[in-house]
Structures are given as C-alpha cells and as structure tokens.
Amino acid sequence: MSEALPLLIVGGTLGAGKTALLGRWVGTPAHAHSAVLVNEPGDAPIDAHLIGTLGGGARTLAGGCACCSARSGLAQALAALVDGPRAGRFERVIVELSGLAHPVPLLEDFAADPVLRERFPLHGLATVVDAGEGEQGLEDPEARARVAAADVLLLSKTDVVGTTEAGHLATALSQLNPQAEILQADGDARGIWAAAASSPGRELRRIEAALEAQTVHDAAIRAHTVRFRAPLELSGFCLRLASWLQANAERVLRLKGLVAVRGRHGPAVIQAVGASLQPVRTLKEWPAGSAPGALVAIGRGLDPGELRAALEERS
C-alpha cells in the first residue's frame, strides 16, 4: 500500500473564500506538494483548474455535493488523485467541499471506512467563515452546522469589517463551537493544520453538528452550466452579466467561470457572490484540460436558458 497521506477537509458557505485559500496554500513552497480534490456542484471544473494553475495536483469530484450524489465516488477520486502520474510526490491531501455540502456525512464515511482511515488519516475539518457576512451569515442552520463540526475556524475577508463586528462574530462562533480555535484564513497554513489536528472534543462535536443541521438541502438549489464556444467581448459581457445578476438578486447564490476573451490568450476569471460581480482577472494561459469557456450559476429556481439569452451579444 502507498504511504499514508494526512488529509484536511475544508468547508464553508458559497463564496466564503475556500478556493482562494487553497490557491494561496499550494502556491507556497511549504505546501506545493499538496493533492487537492475539489467538490464542485456543476459539471465544469472551474475551481480545480484555478487551483491547478498555481501548482500542486488538483482534480474534481463533480456530479453534486460531496454529502449527496458525489459522495460515493470519494474513495475512488482520492485514489485516482494520489496514485496517478505524480504518485509519491504528494505530502498531504486537501478536500475542498462545495458550499452546498454538509461535512458530517463525509466525516462519518471516514470514521466507518478503515481503508480510507489508513490511507488518508483525517487531520481535521477547517471551516472558512466569511467575516463580511457577520453574524447574519450564521442564521442559516447548515452554516451553523458547518461551524459546529469544525476543528478550526478560519475567518476570511476580515479586511471588509471593523474590529467591533469581527469581535461580535468571534463571540458568536465561540458560542457555537467553544473548542475550535479561530484563526485568520490568510494565516500560516502549518499553524492551521496543527490547530485542526490538536482540537479536542472531536467526536462530541460531530454529534452536535449533526443535531444542529435541522433542515435538508433546499431541493430548489441547483447548479447550471452555460458553455461558450467563441471568445467574448469582455466589457459588454460583464455589463450583461451584471444586469442579469441584479434581476435575479433574490435567487442567485454563486456564479463562477472561465471565458475566452477576444484579443487575449488566457481566459477571464468570472466570479460573483450573490448579485455582486467580483473584479475580473485574466490568466496568462488556459489551465490544462479546461473547457473552451463555461459559467456555473448556483441558485434557487434559475433558468439556464434565460441566463444564456441574457448574455448573448446584441447586433
């Protein structure tokens, strides 16, 4: 059997900053030899490609969230990731959960599967918390469950809130999970891994997290993929997308994609959290194996045909 590789699960809500966190990690020499398995609800592996451009091996666990439809493929996906062409070069494994995924079923799988436990000893669960959402972000039962299950809590986007708001959020997090250490998401990765591994009361915390999640997934929340065959004129595309986002502000949760741009070699990275379109950046090269252009929209009751029509260029 291949050498055992410590595994860390990273969860958090849609748009909390999980992919940006992992991108920073694998872009540093200390974590360059990390295998990353990204759970994406859509069928276009946007996040895995973005992480892969920074180094390390990244693959996608697609076909739904990891606690539901994609759950059965976890063991096979992990084995394929670390036993592939780069076998023997990895020092650790990171699983990034979809923002729709509940961590407890996955944690139960690790507890019940001796092969998984031996091959990938679970270092812990890190939950990324969007400080910009503040205490309001904890009103959702599944968001509270992610916090309650965590071994370490990572605050992202703290630059957009004041000291008072950050303090109130830290107090609320401590009440939900008094044993998890609260750290900055942009802090030292080795310290985060150490905090996750040494967190006490893990088994009781898992039970409490399962009880905290009193609701099932909203069946109306779905991921839709819209693909583009030809390069786009970026400014007009962004204006049309921003207009569609505002018109669907009550329904859209997250949007992300890579699209080809006229006159540029690499793709544009398109992201939105809720109805807020984020600053667009361009990659120098297309990630290996990526689609010609795709946009994944996650939300309640969205119509992919309506989105495609809204983004079409007008003559």
- What pLDDT, on the 0 to 100 scale, is given for residue 101? 75
Query: φ and ψ at 126, to 5 degrees?
Result: -105, 125
Residues 16 and 143 in one domain: yes
Instruction: Tell me the average pLDDT of the chain.
Output: 80
Residue 214 has a pLDDT of 46
Q: What are the DSSP calls for the chain, one per residue?
A: -PPP--EEEEEESTTSSHHHHHHHHHTSGGGTTEEEEEE-SSSS-HHHHHHHTTSSEEEEE-SS-TTTTTGGGHHHHHHHHHSSTTTT--SEEEEEPPTT--HHHHHHHHHH-HHHHHHS-EEEEEEEEEGGGGGGGG-SHHHHHHHHH-SEEEEE-GGGS-HHHHHHHHHHHHHH-TTSEEEETTS-HHHHHHHHHH-S-HHHHHHHHHHH--S---TTEEEEEEE-SS-B-HHHHHHHHHHHHHHTTTTEEEEEEEE-BTT-SSPEEEEEETTEEPPPEE-SSPPTT--SSEEEEEEES--HHHHHHHHSPP-
Q: Which residue, of 175, 193, 212, is where some domain finishes? A: 212
Cβ atoms of 27 and 142 within 8 Å: the answer is no
CATH number of the domain that residue 305 is part of: 3.30.1220.10
Based on the fold, state whether residues 274 and 233 are members of the same structural domain. Answer: yes
Same domain, yes or no: 186 and 240: no
Do 228 and 203 lie in a common domain?
Answer: no
pLDDT at 69 > cutoff 50: no
* Per-residue burial over 104-141, b = 16 or more CB atoms within 10 Å of its CB, e = otherwise: bebbebbeeeeebeebbebbbbbbbbbbbbbeebbeee
pLDDT of 245 over the 70 cut: yes
Tens digits of residue pLDDT in 292-307:
678 888 788 888 889 9
Task: Tell me how many domains the chain contains.
Answer: 2
HSE-CB at 303 with a 13 A cutoff on CA atoms is 8
Q: Does residue 188 form part of some domain?
A: yes
Instruction: Count the alpha carbons within 13 Å of 200 in the hemisphere toward its beta carbon.
Output: 2
Whole-angstrom distance, CA of residue 155 vs CA of residue 132: 9
Show the domain range for 236. Answer: 221-311
Of the three residues 160, 194, 212, the one that is the final residue of a domain is 212
User: Is 2 a member of any domain?
Assistant: no
Q: What is the dihedral of CA 254, 259, 263, 266, to 10 degrees?
A: 100
301 lies in some domain: yes
Q: Is residue 110 located within the same domain as residue 32?
A: yes
What pLDDT is stored for residue 215 in this prediction? 46
CA–CA separation, 30 and 307 (whole Å): 41
Same domain, 50 and 84: yes
Q: Quick one: pLDDT at residue 160?
A: 86
* Residue 275 falls inside a structural domain: yes
pLDDT at 184 over 60: yes
68 class by beta-carbon count within 10 Å (0-12 exposed, 13-18 middle, 19+ buried):
middle
Provide the CATH number for the domain around residue 13: 3.40.50.300
For the entire predicted model, the pTM comes to 0.69
Shared-domain flag, residues 245 and 162: no
Do residues 75 and 182 share a domain?
Answer: yes
What pLDDT is stored for residue 38 in this prediction?
82
Among 178, 195, 212, which residue terminates a domain?
212
